[in-house]
Amino acid sequence: MGARDGDLVRDARALGWMYRYLVDGLRLSWENTPYSVTEGWVIVELAQRDVTEVMELRRRMGMDPGYLSRVLARFQANRLITRHRSPENRRFQTVRLTRRGRAAFEVIEDCMAEVLRVRLSTFSESDRRRIVEAMTSISATIERTLESRCAI
pLDDT averaged per 10 residues, the chain (length 152): 69 81 69 85 95 94 94 98 90 96 94 86 94 89 76 46
Would you say residue 34 lies in a domain? yes
Would you say residue 76 lies in a domain? yes
| Domain at 49, CATH number | 1.10.10.10
* Alpha carbons 125 and 143: distance in angstroms, whole number: 27
Question: What total of structural domains would you count in the chain?
Answer: 1
Q: What is the pTM of this model?
A: 0.76
- What is the CA angle 64-67-68, rounded to 5? 85
Would you say residue 133 lies in a domain? no
Would you say residue 130 lies in a domain? no
Contact status, residue 94 vs residue 86, Cβ threshold 8 Å: yes
Residue range of the domain that includes 63: 3-121
How many Cα atoms sit within 13 Å of 102 on the Cβ side? 8
| DSSP classification of residue 85 | E
